Structure 1
Amino acid sequence: MSQGDSNPAAIPHAAEDIQGDNRWMSQHNRFVLDCKDKEPDVLFVGDSMVQLMQQYEIWRELFSPLHALNFGIGGDTTRHVLWRLKNGELENIKPKVIVVWVGTNNHENTAEEVAGGIEAIVQLINTRQPQAKIIVLTSCGGQLLSAHPCLEVEILFVVSGFVTSR
């Protein structure tokens, strides 16, 4: 399903510095430092859907007591998350649970490509964090869903086939 190197959504790539302020790389570097300083039981990784969770009371009530880390960056695609995970965000930590929520920003990819990107992320996590239970959340709202109304259902179908086959 992941289509190997032919799937653009499964090729790790750092995000472009569109704003010119090194914001994305600064966030990544902060996450890598967090891996050296903290011992999370739960790690959340993904795009703005993950990043924004910290703004809500549910984060403080449910996830902060679990020593959760939030490695969400707005605008990230599966490619960006793969790059981050391969470049330090899985080092020096041993979380019990890793929650992956990404795909919303993969505007240029098909459902199968997005699912393949998510599969590549899960495989990388399995390799580097074999003790961790992995939870994959999928919600491809926003522009992706409005441009391709059936895409979320397709991604859910393809990802669930991969995850249940583990």
Structure 2
Amino acid sequence: MEARGERLPENRMSQRDSNPAAVPHAAEDIQGDDRWMSQHNRFVSDCKDKEPDVLFVGDSMVQLLQQYEIWRELFSPLHALNFGIGGDTTGHVLWRLKNGELENIKPKVIVVWVGTNNHENTAEEVAGGIEAIVRLINTQQPQAKVIVLVCLLESYKNKAL
């Protein structure tokens, strides 16, 4: 991998490759009702049935947007899809995107808002997880503009991004 024509140091590459926030994985079924997987399957089905201009993907910050009037006023007319699941981490979103949530659609814009639940990760790891999501989107949806929203948490305040 190159940055401005220069090869990245080996230790930088291995850090990125071993970043736990950039490893796709399904969420654990804590409630025992298969809620998370059911939500994911509904999103995959929505990809087959709808033609969104805008796709929102992320955690509860995205999921809760639908509860506000601004969603109905601004985003519903754009045929926006909301693929937010409360509690999701960067690894969960990566898994969902790799498992059907980017198929059968061609949105013009994809908004990513995730990372607030990565409590076990450093700020650098979370940033790497978000970067992995953006790379995946750019590969699978090259026509889409990607917008990343971030919420800097108090726990990340003194950590370098």
CA drift at 1:150:
3.0
The reply to whether residue 49 of structure 1 matches residue 61 of structure 2 is yes
Alignment deviations for residues 84-127 of structure 1 (CA, whole Å, 9 cap, x no partner): 00000000000000000000000000011000000000000000
Q: Shift in Å at residue 149 of structure 1?
A: 3.5
**Maintained 8 Å contact 2:53/2:109:** yes
130, 143, 150: which one aligns with 2:158:
150
Equivalent residue in structure 2 for 1:137, among 124, 138, 149: 149
In the aligned structure 2, how far is the partner of 1:33 from the partner of 1:78? 22
Pair 1:113 & 2:129 matched: no
Once the two structures are superposed, the pairs formed by residues 12-23 of structure 1 within 5 Å of their partners are 12-23=24-35
Larger Rg: 2
Q: If each structure's helix is expressed as a fraction of its own residues, which one has the higher value?
A: 1
**Where does the alignment leave 5 or more consecutive residues of structure 1 unmatched?**
159-166
Alpha-carbon contact 2:123-2:156 (below 8 Å) kept:
no
Distance in 2, matches of 1:118 and 1:7, equals 11
Normalised by the size of structure 2, how large is the TM-score?
0.89
Matched, 1:35 2:47: yes
Unaligned runs of 5+ in 2: 1-11
What SS does the corresponding residue of 2:56 show, helix, strand or coil? strand
Aligned partners of 1:31 and 1:89 also within 8 Å: yes
Could you tell me which residue of structure 2 aligns to residue 11 of structure 1? 23
Tell whether 2:113 aligns with 1:101.
Answer: yes
- Percent identity of the aligned residues? 85
Give matches, 1:43-82, under 5 Å.
Answer: 43-82=55-94
Task: Tell me the CA shift for residue 33 of structure 1.
Answer: 0.1
The CA deviation at 1:148 is 4.2
How much has 1:5 moved relative to structure 2?
2.9
Distance in 2 separating the partners of 1:133 and 1:74: 24
Q: Which residue of 2 aligns with 1:164?
A: none
User: Does structure 2 retain, via aligned residues, the 8 Å contact 1:39–1:93?
Assistant: yes
Give the TM-score normalised by the residue count of structure 1. 0.86
In structure 1, the residue matched to 2:97 is 85
C-alpha separation in 1, matches of 2:111 and 2:158: 24
One-letter amino acid matched to 2:61: M
